[in-house]
Copies of this chain bind each other. A is one copy, B any other.
């Protein structure tokens, strides 16, 4: 390539810094190699690892080298590489991600078939996520302002068609973030009471920075004994209806809210499998309840898939139920 390697002082410093605070404090020789870069290149800082990114430019062409681990690669791409590439092209591509929950992919596709068939600029692409559907609306124009103008009427149409199923029109916003924002806005506190998801719901909620304002505690009551002791589920309920039942889910949610003094408690109880299924309690049967002040909602699901998938679907559907409880309570109160 004709670029001799030189040591980049800034990268070397960053590697030193990284290892100073790492649990494995030994810096081995192979680490220093990562500070060697082609002369004259653009060095991209890696905020989640030691190997910097490199952009080489020669004869009007660019070559970009990035580290492989996704948690290093993806932030570097968003922060530095995407803006760099954007500066290189004459046309602007602008896109908006419309994120939906509580509605299935094929139904979404059917609802927008006419829009997809007529699409030119902007275009619509559908992405099925676990328990969510994302629609990317993309326009091309000479500048961003022009592209935004093209996207606007399509966005309006989608909002008309899907209403409150849309939880965000921003790529970076997650379902849990939109819910935490909603809880903050309404000044509500939340508790979780999980059985088969074993903490996945609280883990997703606590992904959100600043969640501590609304989420104070959660219970993982995996055993029947824990359901009784931590959440006061009646012995008779567990005996007569079983741990995976509407009645148990309701008591978990109601008592969880009462015990902690939270405004809302969401509970999940189900059978994630792969073993333990019976005729009356098959693998994939999940009950999700939401106690919101004096209201109590319950949903029954029959999920398909492996253990992990059933747990993920339970978690996202618990978030969706929680969200609709908050939104509909508000509407009802008006």
* Interface bin, chain A: 35 or more
The answer, among B18, B104, B212, B304, for a CB contact under 8 Å with A223, is B212
Copies of this chain held together in the complex: 2
User: What residues of chain B lie closer than 8 Å to A47, measured between beta carbons?
Assistant: 305-306
A175 at the interface (CB under 8 A from B): no
Question: Any chain B CB within 8 A of the CB of A207?
Answer: yes
A219 to B216, Cβ gap below 8 A?
A: no
Q: Interface code A291-328, partner B: CB below 8 Å = 1, 0 otherwise?
A: 00000000001111111110100000100000000000
CB of A110 within 8 A of CB of B226, answer no
**Which of chain B's residues have a CB closer than 8 A to the CB of A221?**
217
Question: Once bound together, how far apart are the Cα atoms of A30 and B220, in whole Å?
Answer: 40
B207 touches A203 (CB 8 A): no
A82 to chain B, nearest CB (A): 17
Shortest distance from the beta carbon of A23 to any chain B beta carbon, whole Å = 6
Query: Does A135 interact with chain B (Cβ within 8 Å)?
Result: no
Contact B218 A220 (CB under 8 A): yes
* Given A307-B207, A309-B71, also A28-B106 (CB < 8 A): yes
Q: Is the beta-carbon distance between B216 and A225 smaller than 8 angstroms?
A: yes
> Which of B24, B206, B274 has a CB less than 8 Å from the CB of A107?
B24
CB-defined contacts of A301 to chain B, threshold 8 Å: 23
Q: Are B220 and A106 in contact (CB under 8 A)?
A: no
Residues B104 and A22 in contact, CB atoms below 8 Å apart: yes
- Sample of 18 further A-B pairs with CB below 8 A, known A71-B308, A198-B203: A21-B284, A22-B104, A24-B104, A24-B107, A28-B107, A28-B110, A30-B106, A30-B109, A69-B128, A71-B130, A71-B305, A207-B308, A209-B272, A209-B274, A217-B225, A218-B219, A218-B222, A226-B260
A-B pairs with lowest CB-CB distance, top 8? A198-B206, A199-B199, A24-B104, A199-B202, A218-B220, A217-B226, A216-B223, A21-B302
